[in-house]
């Protein structure tokens, strides 16, 4: 996964076909150089809008009629095109920043696109970070 863009309190993260992420899951976007991380929740998943993908999809749909000819692909470009066609954009809501292991309710900080590591955040880890022990209210993000 790679950080693509930030709009307000929303992150767009590029997700590759071999990465399994579902709507509702939490992500941990860590920038080790800055010593900070963002916690974001996946609220929607879309296909990545890559130039030329529609053209490739139209070329590959042949309405069931056999296409005669010989396919030569010595550089294995087809597998790369298929990989790109299935890339997704994860639309994520930022719920907080982690600084020195402590969760803070802010999202004014922006992690590096190139140096950030993104991985799923298990619910148990999120509960521990938020110091939820059954008491209310649970402070996590804002609307």
- pLDDT one digit per residue (tens) for the chain, 143 residues: 999 999 999 999 999 999 999 999 999 999 999 999 999 999 999 998 877 766 666 666 655 555 566 667 677 666 767 777 889 999 999 999 998 888 888 778 899 999 999 999 998 888 888 777 766 666 666 55
- The reply to whether omega before 58 is within 30° of 0 (cis) is no
Nearest to 10, CA basis, from 81, 65, 64, 91: 91
Strand, coil or helix: 38: strand
| Dihedral sign of CA atoms 5, 23, 87, 50 in order | negative
Specify the pTM.
0.77
Model pLDDT, residue 16: 93
The whole-angstrom separation of Cα 119 and Cα 5 is 17
Nearest to 44, CA basis, from 13, 18, 17, 19: 13
Kindly report the length of the chain. Answer: 143
């Amino acid at each position: 996964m790679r950080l693509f863009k930030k709009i307000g309190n929303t992150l767009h993260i590029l997700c590759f076909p071999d990465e399994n992420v579902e709507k509702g899951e939490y992500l941990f976007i860590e920038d080790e150089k800055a010593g900070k991380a963002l916690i974001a929740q996946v609220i929607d998943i879309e296909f990545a809008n890559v130039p030329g993908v529609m053209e490739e999809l139209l070329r590959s749909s042949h309405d069931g009629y056999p296409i005669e000819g010989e396919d030569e692909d010595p550089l294995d470009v087809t597998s790369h095109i298929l990989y790109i066609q299935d890339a997704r954009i994860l639309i994520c809501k930022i719920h907080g920043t982690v600084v020195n292991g402590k969760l803070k309710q802010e999202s004014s900080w922006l992690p590096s696109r190139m140096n950030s590591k993104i991985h799923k955040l298990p619910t148990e880890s999120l509960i521990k970070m938020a110091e939820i022990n059954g008491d209310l209210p649970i402070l996590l993000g804002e609307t």
